Structure 1
Amino acid sequence: MEKVDYDTRLHTVYATARQVPPAALRTWMDVFARHLPATRPLAWLDLGSGTGRLTPSLASTFGGPVHGVEPSGRMREQAVAGAAHPGVTYRAGSAERIPLPDASVDAALLFFVWHHVADRAAAVRELRRVVRPGGRIFVQANFPDRMPDVWWFRVVPEWREIDRAQFPSEAEVRGAFTGGGFTAVAHEEVTWLRSATLAQEVERLRMRAVSVFELMSDEVAAAGFARIEAALPGLAEEPQYETSQLLVFQRD
């Protein structure tokens, strides 16, 4: 699978088009809290933090510090400009090279990230190094046999097949972590608000900020959007939700 380049175009639209609404942030923070001790503060690694969609909320909810580590320089620039927080530091780095000391965080988050990691064995070793014994790893990941049932995939199933090809199976994700010194402790399905209205959803979709658009031709994208425009009159104007898979691992 071709590597997605966030420095060329995606960084210009990502913060707006992939913004997580406040209600969804609360949903995710509540889920993470259920798997963590009540002690505060808790230090976090937001690995692949992008434009900082969740990073400030981690600091506000759990006290921080939170280290947002992101390989794309342009995405980090957007995070610094638009998602600053006194408890957050954004750093250059990657899953294979995390710029943090040993045993320096209580929890790590990989949110829509794992399918982008090139050397997954190296990433697991690095996560085991920086997460304290007993700490938790939260991996939000789509699986080929359990793709989110979003409306635009129902209208354009060809896009779903292109997207599906990006993702390793649940068994592969579990095996990477359990084989590298982590114990699987939970698998949750989390339903969260993606957009307040269908109109907002369509406006964001047109920005093509979802990485799947980087993996298809302009012709395939244009044909899909034409079908979406034709289908819109028959779609209900209502809040749009997504159900995501979340795996939770504990550092041995």
Structure 2
Amino acid sequence: MRPVDYDDRLHRGYAAGRALSDAQRAAWARAFAARLPAARPLRGLDLGSGTGRFTPLLAAEFGGPVTGVEPSRRMRAQAVAHAAHPRVAYVPGRAEALPLPDASADFGLSFLVWHHVRDRPAAARELHRVLRPGGTLLLRTELTDRLPDLWYIDAFPRGREILAALYEPLSAVRGTFEAAGWEWGSVAEVALPPAGTRAEALARLRTRAFSVFEHMPEADIEAGFAELERRVAAAPGAPAAPGTVLTFRRP
């Protein structure tokens, strides 16, 4: 799949389209805390921090400091302007070349970023370098052998096929990290509360802040949204889907 340029279009609607409800934010905070050491403070890395959806939360929950590494200049600008926190810093960088010292973080979070990384073996080695021995990496990603039943995806022609092409099976992700020296921890599904009704979810989808739309032709996108309008009118109830999180340990 071709690389996605967040500086081109996606940055404009990302914060609104991918906003978290308070209940969702709390659910993720509990999920992260359950997988991290009880000691505080914890120094963190938010890889692919985007507009700062999680970086301030990580600093508040785990005492900081937290560094958000984000390659998109326009996404970083929004994070700095709208998601500021005294223990958070946002810096330019890529997963394959992290601008951080060795062993400088106690934990790392990579939230729906891994499928954008071009050289995944190099990124796994860089994360191994930056996290201290005993550190924990939380990898939120989809897996081709565990794809979620997203409420909207099959309304789009080839939607599920495109979604599957973006990701890897669990065995491939594990293999990449274990080859870089990581110890396997676990895979789990985090139950998330819905963020409003289907109509509200459809409004967020219309921002096209989900990168899967970057791989669809315009005709398919128009057809999909027309189908979703019909479905939402017939069943306006709130959608919900779990989030897959992988845990790795730095020996």
Q: TM-score range by the shorter chain?
A: over 0.9
Contact 2:24–2:195, Cα closer than 8 Å, also in 1: no
Q: Following the alignment from structure 2 to structure 1, what is the Cα–Cα distance between the partners of residues 230 and 186?
A: 41
Contact 1:20–1:194, Cα closer than 8 Å, also in 2: no
Superposed CA RMSD in Å reads 1.2
Name the counterpart of 2:71: 71
Q: Following the alignment from structure 1 to structure 2, what is the Cα–Cα distance between the partners of residues 9 and 157?
A: 22
Contact 2:198–2:232, Cα closer than 8 Å, also in 1: no
1:159 Cα deviation (Å)? 1.2
Alignment of 1:1-252 (within 5 A): 1-156=1-156, 158-238=158-238, 240-252=239-251
* Contiguous gaps of at least 5 residues in structure 2: none
Contact 2:155–2:225, Cα closer than 8 Å, also in 1: no
Identity %: 49
Q: Following the alignment from structure 2 to structure 1, what is the Cα–Cα distance between the partners of residues 193 and 84?
A: 23
TM-score, normalisation: structure 2:
0.97
Contact 2:157–2:220, Cα closer than 8 Å, also in 1: no
Q: Following the alignment from structure 1 to structure 2, what is the Cα–Cα distance between the partners of residues 65 and 29?
A: 16
Contact 1:20–1:54, Cα closer than 8 Å, also in 2: no
* Contiguous gaps of at least 5 residues in structure 1: none
Q: Following the alignment from structure 1 to structure 2, what is the Cα–Cα distance between the partners of residues 227 and 159?
A: 13
Q: Following the alignment from structure 2 to structure 1, what is the Cα–Cα distance between the partners of residues 18 and 225?
A: 18
Q: How many residues align?
A: 251
Q: Following the alignment from structure 1 to structure 2, what is the Cα–Cα distance between the partners of residues 35 and 163?
A: 27
Distance 1:157 1:246, change over 3 A: farther
1:157 Cα deviation (Å)? 5.9
Deviations 1:168-194 (A, max 9, x none): 111110111111111111111112135
Q: Following the alignment from structure 1 to structure 2, what is the Cα–Cα distance between the partners of residues 197 and 87?
A: 34
1:68 maps to amino acid: G
